[in-house]
Amino acid sequence: MNHKKWISLSAILIICFFFTGGFILKQSSRPETALFPEYPEGCTSILVGKAASTDGSTMTTHTCDCGICDWTWRHVPAADHKEGSVRKIYHINQYRTWPPAEGLKWERYKDDYTELDMPQVPHTFAYHHGMFGYMNEKQVAIGESTIGCQRKMRNQTPAAKFDITMLTLMAMERAETARQAIKIMGEFGEKYGYGYNDGGEMLAVADPDEVWIFEIMPVGPLWTPESGKPGAVWCAQRVPDDHVSVCPNESRIGEIDRNNPDFFMFSPNVISCAVEMGFYDPESGEPFSWKKAYSPSEGSTTSTHGRRGRLWRFLSLVAPSQNFSPDTPNMEFPFSVKPDKKLSVQDVFSLTRDKYRGNMYDPSQGIKAGPFANPNYFRGFELDKQRYTGPRCICVSNVEYTTVTQCRGGLPDPIGGIIWLSFGAQDTACYMPLYAGITALPESFQIGDHWIFERDSARWASDYVDFHTQVIYSYAIEDVKKAQEKWEGIASSQIPVVDRTALALYEKNPEEAFQYLTDFCINHAVNVVNAWWKLGDMLLVKYNHFRIYDPETRKAGRITLPESWLRSIVEVDKLAPLPPRDR
């Protein structure tokens, strides 16, 4: 394309951009949040420093909250590359899917080639990925949360060669530490442009020693490589070792200490971009705040009726002694806190499953939860031109999968790194371990689609249990919890033994260690998936016809409805009682 044609196309794109509110590319493929567009609805990411965990590991999480996205996972092996090789760069839409008959996402993503070929490095690392790259063989781990940005920053033009998924894959291939990963992603965004499918994004980036919040934004649709300016603006802040943090679709970085490289990294335009775009006036006397400039987001838990309560809820759970108020504007909460007690990986599992239980915003309370205290019923609605909102919990039913990464020092990287992966809604799914050094993933993790039932898919096994749980939630969830305790307990108890065995093998023959870890992870996953299919069958039989069937006694008991629900029926439906019985 010649220069004049590019200018004309850019002008057309810019006009479309402003007259359509900035959404000009495949917007219909995004998850539906139209009822409450002002409240972020995406993913939650938790970060745990090594001195804040019970075992000295750093941890990150990602609840991949979408409801329409591809949930499949892939393993990419390490590779050596000849001198002069190139790395082709693709645009990868987080939300787009194809029918399985046409090829799933990771067979089709190469259809969207950006025409950018980068010089390839001599060696790329092995890694595991789903929607994003999650962990490589060097124990570099990532979690994600979309945070948004100022509207005029969006750049959905072809000039932006990188989106967030592609950046994470490049980090997986090339980085040996969290800092390297941040530098790689930041520099590629600056040089080649960031945006296209994505706007403001946050990544939790960790290795065995450090965990960082990395946030990156586009710099507007006028950017071109020829401008000589960075094609992205980014900043990263390290979580103190004895602290924890969370990103619930909100920018978390505030004031930046540019003289403290141990805790801050940033692009050269970190402030100048905000000045040029009118987001910050250096003459105002106010200190520069990253989140206030690039991704301001007003509101509190109280003012949004819990719709923006995840930040307050997380801080209240991990540091209740600090008595955080739900009235506090979200942008005034601290970047991180020291937890009242150190967190185990099981504690983090529980945090990802939180639904405000016992809290004033508990969605399982009242008539809105139905007769079986189902916290998933009330999501907000519009009635008589009035909007009503339910709380946005950390745990939601539209999650594709959830990751909890552990980066553990004192072990070789392929053994030290673990991704705990669960498919589907966290409250009814089971976490399964995947070591960084495994060379293959279970086949059931690599198939499946929202629109076609597939018996061989791990995700459909989770959905099968979830579907039968929703019908009679307060009863069935207790059966699910028992299964989770059993299978997650089995994995947790086996990890120390697996570590020792793998380490002994690794010292003699690393390849044997990798095969041992692969066999363990695949066999455990197969057992869990089979157990979840059986659990779904059991729930169907046990609670059939809203009764309780006991196969051992061959008797059927009654389901008891809560008195509060029965009184609501009498009041709303104006039921009349039967006349008294004759004595």
Whole-number average pLDDT of the chain: 93
561 assigned to some structural domain: no
Domain span including residue 526: 427-542
205 assigned to some structural domain: yes
Shared domain check, 352 and 497? no
CA distances from residue 68 to 32, 41, 400, 449 in whole angstroms, order as listed:
9, 13, 8, 9
Q: How far apart are CA 518 and CA 538, in angstroms?
A: 30
Q: Give the pLDDT band (50/70/90) at residue 378.
A: confident
Find the mean pLDDT for residues 556-574: 91
Which range of 294-298, 375-379, 537-541 scores highest in mean pLDDT? It is: 537-541
Q: Dig out the tokens for 583 from the structure.
A: 């004595």
Q: State how far Cα 367 lies from the chain centre.
A: 30
Shared domain check, 345 and 475? no
Q: What confidence tens digit (pLDDT) does each residue in 84-101 have?
A: 999 999 999 999 999 999
Check whether 426 has a pLDDT greater than 90: yes
Closest CA relative to residue 87, chosen from 115, 118, 113, 114: 118
Cα-flanking dihedrals φ and ψ of residue 367, to 5°? -65, -25
Shared domain check, 137 and 56? yes
Q: Give the pLDDT band (50/70/90) at residue 9.
A: very low
Q: What confidence tens digit (pLDDT) does each residue in 143-179 have?
A: 999 999 999 999 999 999 999 999 999 999 999 999 9
Shared domain check, 438 and 343? no
Percent of the chain with pLDDT over 70: 93
Q: Give the pLDDT band (50/70/90) at residue 41.
A: confident
Indicate the DSSP class of residue 286: P
Q: Give the pLDDT band (50/70/90) at residue 30.
A: low
Q: How many domains does the chain have?
A: 2
Q: What confidence tens digit (pLDDT) does each residue in 195-244 have?
A: 999 999 999 999 999 999 999 999 999 999 999 999 999 999 999 999 99
316 assigned to some structural domain: no
Shared domain check, 135 and 253? yes
333 assigned to some structural domain: no
CA distances from residue 296 to 313, 472, 567 in whole angstroms, order as listed:
20, 41, 45
Q: What number of helices (H) and strands (E) belong to the chain?
A: 13, 22
Find the mean pLDDT for residues 62-70: 95
Q: What confidence tens digit (pLDDT) does each residue in 466-521 have?
A: 999 999 999 999 999 999 999 999 999 999 999 999 999 999 999 999 999 999 99
What integer pLDDT is reported at residue 2 of this predicted model? 45
What integer pLDDT is reported at residue 7 of this predicted model? 37
Shared domain check, 446 and 352? no
Q: How far apart are CA 514 and CA 520, in angstroms?
A: 10
314 assigned to some structural domain: no
